[in-house]
Amino acid sequence: MAKRVLVVDDSFMMRTLIKDIVSADSDLEVVGDAENGKIALDKVKELKPDVVLLDIEMPEMDGLEALKRIKLSSQAKVIIISSVAQVGSPQAMEARRLGAFEVIAKPSGAMSLDIGQKKGSEIVKMARKAVGLP
Amino acid sequence: MSDMVATLWREFAVETEEHFEIIEPLLVASETQAVAPEDISQLFRSFHSVKGLARAMDMRAMETVGHHAENLLGLMRDGVCAFDAAAASLLLEAVDALKALREKAVNERADSDPPAELIARLEQAYAMLSGGGGTKAPASQTHAPKVQVQPQAAPPPRVEAQPPPPAEHAPLGPDPDMLRFYAEMVEQHLPDIARAATSEIDDAGARAAALESLESLEHATSVMGFEGLAAHLADLRRIVENNDAGGKMKAAGILGEIKVEIELLESEIPATITGTGLADRLRLALQSEVTGLIDGMVGVLHRMSDTSGTRVADTDATLAAELAMLARSSCMFFLFLNLHQASRLILMIEDVYGRAAAGELFLHPQILELTHEAVGRLHDVAQNMATKADIDEADVNALLERFRHSLLFGTECVDGADPVSALRRVLANFDISPDLVEILSAENIQDLVAAVHDGHNNLYEILAHFESSEEMTLNFVKWVKAEATAITNRTVFREGKTWFEFLIVSALVPPTVESRIAGIDPSGNSILVRCCKAKAQAGGALATTTPAAVTAVTTAAARAADPKGGAVVSAKATNVLRVRGETVDQLMAQIGEMVTIGNMLHVSASESGVQAALQHLKDYARVQANRPDVMGWVETIEGAVKAFQRSDEQLRSALSRLQDATLELRVVPVETVFNRFPRLVRDLSQALHKQVRLEMEGGEVRIDKAMVESLVDPLMHMVRNAIDHGIEPPEDRQAAGKPAAARLLLRASSRSNRVVIEIIDDGRGLNIERIRTKAVERGLVGAAEAARMGPKEIGRFIFAAGFSTAEQVTETSGRGVGMDVVNTNVLRLGGSVDVETTPGAGSTFTLQLPLSAAIQRVLMVEAGGRMMAIPERFLSEIHQAAAADYRTVKGRAAILLRQSFLPVFRLSELLGFGAGSAGEGSHRSVIVLVNGHQRIGIEVDKLMRRQELFVKEIHPKLASIPGVGGASIAGDGSVVLILDGDDLFRIAERSDVVAATTALPSPSAAVPALPPTIH
């Protein structure tokens, strides 16, 4: 059975893009999306995803705040996808400390405009790794 | 180009625009007033989002600008420096640059060169504000906003030397936030968990909630590293899962342990996080709560004793239910307070009164007495809660024993049959395992009997072990939903595994069921089926039980067989759906067609000819031929016509609801228009050296999206006018005793189906005298007439064609677009514009607009054999004129209407459709059209009806016909031309070669100018 993925980002376009990238992998299934941390918490409870792809900068409740709560209330692996959390940035370190499985950059044009490449993209690779898929 | 990429580009355009609309007003506002921290966060997020969106589309120039703006705002957000006007100005430049880059990105899907000069200044500002003094922003070293071409295949930047992610379930350390969240979670879940020890847990919903809470808390607890507490929570979860007899008592015990653990935990959670201790807080809250509950119980008992002389079953049941509820609530609290003996006692009370409320047992006086005694003991405990003294265990045992004894004695006192046992007897007819029978609620039994007694269904017991495969679980649940009805289910432990036992009803025969199950569970080890043979006369047995008795036994039914608590139900769609404007317009057009067809139908339905024909037939049948058979046919037709008319009415109301709902899809908040103004006002007032404070109200009022674009220009023009002409320079204002900064208010409000937008300034107001002079100069009005007119009427001349009072052509307002253009545009939208002014104190321009530009209320008329529609907004009145009323004034036909001559034109002639049959009838219909101060009469051949028309985009050929403003499809399917009132006035003026004022030989004293008349 495909692993369940929840996509959290405040941009509709980013959600569309990330969902498209993830659903190219038949072992992963996007079960829902959320536009801020608060909605994400409800969705995590409701949809019980295996992986949460989480943005950091969001209104209402930001990604780090949501990360803490998701870690406490669910067993889902959380992958931070954010351009704020550049590797080595305080946010990235904080996300790691709080139990994020991985911190990766937002998809850049090279990938979104060449749909063929996305299967091997960083997001898919990390999501597979998080749920123990080869 | 794939659809996906097209979608991404479209969303890119929409979202970047949205962010600009957020950013601009905030920045503009920040120049004049203090910026709230949340605004800075919002600005930061928006620039950040623009950057991310640009990055996703490979628009590096936008990404770079966005990045630098974000960096700058980051400093302000983190309090490194203050947000000042200089920064706002610089950021506004960044927005302008981003907008320009976005235009190119969206239109050409091409990147541009980053604006180097701007970026240099942004970097400089960053360096200065961050106090580093360097020229390069530190963040840009870690980020990749390279101006050069990015290597396309480069992976997102990552540093491999990161520490590995923490092991699963590793304690996250004493993070105060985590502890706080954890404390919150504990607090949040405790009530659900506490139910484990109450009879509420028999309710499937409560059990599911408790299990979910336990799971969450157990997980969180182990994430926090509190293993002891996690183990206790796991124990409790298993008890709740089994929910077997005696489970509640065990649960109570474990809850006590959990309470102790939580108290221990509090020594680890600093008081600064939880305020007062968690347990203490709980205790404090509980103490008054529990005392209140016990007092409530005492009160109910007294009322019960009062009525015991004259026992009324209904009152008893209500009071018993009340008591049971109070007991249930207080039980939870006793458990938390580790008062186990007290909770045992209260559980007994809850059980007894719960059953009494359901009519399962009779409240014998002895039971009431016992309850009094027990509640008295509980009362003592609640009073002395500080000492944490429980009731003596032996005392409780003795009390409980006496309760049981009374109950045995009491139940025998119930007159007649006990409804529960009657139902149980029904069940004896089925070969169901006794364990399952035990858990069947009255509703289950009703379902079961109803499903089986007609003989078409079979009853199956299914034992399933689901832990092996989630897919199998899902398939099983799907199958049950599709082909069977689940009566009940429970969890059983066998051979160390958890099994679900289901009782299901299905029309399928045993071999089919077996093959279905084999399909779901190929191993044959995880799902076991047994068919329960129904013994004869099951239905008959049910009949011996009265329905009242069945319903009297109400137990919360565990109906659903879904062990996952409904997890298979698909997730609710809570997302906002984005639809392109054109899609809604198409939908609107289709609905418009439906409305048109509906109108056609309505015409047929209300066709008076049918009624007349029927009447003739009736007369014929009765008088002429004495044909009762024909009478019958007539009645049949009459009935059909009535039904048709009824359906027509229903269809019309349904259609109008549909239309309204679709209209809602088209509306957007006026804010989307208003948000463009802060920037405009800022730029303008700077250019003109004026001080303007812009205020906006009613941004939430909604208008048709199609109207937004057409509204922007007129509004902009009026705002420009207000700043350019209305508002004085600061020094003039001060000299006039007004504050230097002028106030400009944009206010939207909605009145029934119209939207009103006002532009209010406190400037110098209109120069009425100059307008008066000019109006006379331009020949718009006679000098004498002008002298009589009040300021309000004079003010309206600014909307007349070609009228302008500006003494010099300025860059801002003197662009050859006067208020007359505003007026024309607004009229085209089906709206109107008006002005009110007080010299020296300011002006108020008022725009009135319809909610939707697409649907218009019209009057249908016939002229020259054609059907035409006149929008109601042009109509003033309808006049029936006799041929004798017509006069000839200066070679034109006119009628006298309220002491004024009204020029009358034949519509068919005006439009050039030929003369038609002029003035044949004794009465002619004259429609009085109004345009500002002018009135004309339009004579038509026939008045039809008023209706709503959906205006279609007009064909260019039609558009070129003078007087025609649009087209629609009429009820009978023919094309209807929608006339443009303004155009009709223009044609009328042209055709009327004889102008100016002519007094008629008439008894009336005042004969105003003709035509058109100006009042």
Q: What single DSSP character describes residue B534?
A: B
Q: Is B532 on the interface with A (CB under 8 A)?
A: no
Nearest to A33 among B42, B159, B575 (CB): B575
Q: Is A26 on the interface with B (CB under 8 A)?
A: no
Give the tokens for residue B479. Answer: 């199958």
Q: Is B45 on the interface with A (CB under 8 A)?
A: yes
Are A97 and B172 inside 8 Å of each other by CB? yes
For residues B907-912, give the mean pLDDT: 82
Higher pLDDT, B855 or B399: B399
Q: How high is the mean pLDDT of chain B?
A: 73
Provide φ and ψ at B901, rounded to 5°: -85, 130
Grouping H, G, I as helix, E, B as strand and the rest as coil, residue B853 is coil
Q: What is the pLDDT of residues B699-753, one digit of tens each?
A: 888 787 767 777 888 888 888 888 888 888 888 888 888 888 899 999 998 776 6
For residues B472-482, give the mean pLDDT: 82
Portion 59-88 of A in contact with B at CB < 8 A: 59, 68-69, 71-75, 83-84, 86-88
For residue B424, pLDDT over 80 is answered with: no
Interatomic CA distance for residues B317 and B321, integer angstroms: 6
Higher pLDDT, B841 or B199: B841
Residue B240, min C-alpha distance to chain A (Å): 19
Task: Using alpha carbons, select from B361, B357, B257, B267 the residue that is nearest to residue B317.
Answer: B357
Q: Amino acid letter at B326?
A: L
| Contact assessment for residue B886 and residue B892, using Cβ atoms and an 8 Å cutoff | no
Most confident of B167-181, B413-427, B823-837: B823-837
Q: Is A14 on the interface with B (CB under 8 A)?
A: yes
Portion 84-123 of A in contact with B at CB < 8 A: 84, 86-89, 96-110, 112-113, 115, 122
Q: Is B172 on the interface with A (CB under 8 A)?
A: yes
Q: Strands of B942-950's sheet, edge to edge?
A: B942-950, B855-863, B866-871, B975-979, B964-969
For residue B557, pLDDT over 70 is answered with: no
For residue B5, pLDDT over 60 is answered with: yes
* Least confident stretch, B126-135, B399-408, B473-482, B842-851: B126-135
Task: Please tell me the predicted confidence (pLDDT) of residue B543.
Answer: 36
Chosen from A83, A96, A122 to mutate, greatest number of chain B CBs within 10 A: A83
Task: Please tell me the predicted confidence (pLDDT) of residue B414.
Answer: 36
Residue B53, min C-alpha distance to chain A (Å): 7
Find the angle CA(B754)-CA(B594)-CA(B660) to the nearest 5 degrees. 30
Most confident of B444-448, B922-926, B948-952: B922-926
Q: Is B573 on the interface with A (CB under 8 A)?
A: no
Are B575 and A109 inside 8 Å of each other by CB? no
Going by pLDDT thresholds of 50, 70 and 90, the confidence category of residue B999 is very low
Going by pLDDT thresholds of 50, 70 and 90, the confidence category of residue B973 is low
Task: Please tell me the predicted confidence (pLDDT) of residue B141.
Answer: 37
Environment class of residue B595 by beta-carbon count within 10 Å: exposed (0-12), middle (13-18) or buried (19+)?
buried
Chosen from B22, B178, B222, B478 to mutate, greatest number of chain A CBs within 10 A: B178
Interatomic CA distance for residues A8 and B207, integer angstroms: 30
Higher pLDDT, B365 or B13: B13
Nearest to B56 among A17, A39, A72 (CB): A17
Task: Using alpha carbons, select from B441, B497, B430 the residue that is nearest to residue B466.
Answer: B497
Helices (H), B667-795: 671-674, 677-687, 705-721, 730-735, 768-777, 783-788, 791-795
For residue B1001, pLDDT over 70 is answered with: no
* Least confident stretch, B428-432, B552-556, B590-594, B649-653: B552-556
| Contact assessment for residue B64 and residue B54, using Cβ atoms and an 8 Å cutoff | no
For residue B157, pLDDT over 70 is answered with: no
Higher pLDDT, B442 or B609: B609
Task: Please tell me the predicted confidence (pLDDT) of residue A51.
Answer: 94
Nearest to A17 among B8, B153, B578 (CB): B8
For residue B222, pLDDT over 50 is answered with: yes
Weakly modelled stretches of chain A, pLDDT under 50: 116, 119-120
Going by pLDDT thresholds of 50, 70 and 90, the confidence category of residue B980 is confident
Interatomic CA distance for residues B635 and B24, integer angstroms: 71
Location of structure tokens 């499903």 = B451
* Least confident stretch, B68-82, B258-272, B494-508, B824-838: B258-272
Are A99 and B8 inside 8 Å of each other by CB? no
For residue B545, pLDDT over 60 is answered with: no
Task: Please tell me the predicted confidence (pLDDT) of residue A40.
Answer: 92
Q: What is the pLDDT of residues B458-472, one digit of tens each?
A: 788 888 877 767 778
For residue B126, pLDDT over 90 is answered with: no
Task: Please tell me the predicted confidence (pLDDT) of residue B1008.
Answer: 36
Report chain A residues whose CB lies below 8 A from the CB of B59: 109
Interatomic CA distance for residues B290 and B330, integer angstroms: 6
Task: Please tell me the predicted confidence (pLDDT) of residue B211.
Answer: 87
The ipTM, to two decimals, is 0.84
Residues β-bridged to residue B460 = B504, B531
For residue B689, pLDDT over 60 is answered with: yes
For residues B145-161, give the mean pLDDT: 38
Task: Please tell me the predicted confidence (pLDDT) of residue B758.
Answer: 92
Task: Please tell me the predicted confidence (pLDDT) of residue B328.
Answer: 76
Task: Please tell me the predicted confidence (pLDDT) of residue B25.
Answer: 84
Report strand pairing: A3-8 vs B1013-1014.
unpaired
Most confident of B189-203, B665-679, B759-773: B759-773
Report strand pairing: A102-104 vs B458-464.
unpaired
pTM over 0.90: no
Higher pLDDT, B54 or B932: B54
Report chain B residues whose CB lies below 8 A from the CB of A54: none
Rg (CA), chain B: 42
Report chain B residues whose CB lies below 8 A from the CB of A58: 45
Give the tokens for residue B140. Answer: 């840009």
Going by pLDDT thresholds of 50, 70 and 90, the confidence category of residue B320 is confident
Residue B25, min C-alpha distance to chain A (Å): 18
| Contact assessment for residue B977 and residue B949, using Cβ atoms and an 8 Å cutoff | no
Task: Please tell me the predicted confidence (pLDDT) of residue A34.
Answer: 92
Task: Please tell me the predicted confidence (pLDDT) of residue B957.
Answer: 64
CA dihedral A128, A133, B5, B11 (to 10 degrees): -40
Going by pLDDT thresholds of 50, 70 and 90, the confidence category of residue B132 is low
Kindly state the percentage of chain B with pLDDT values over 90. Answer: 1
Residues β-bridged to residue B892 = B889
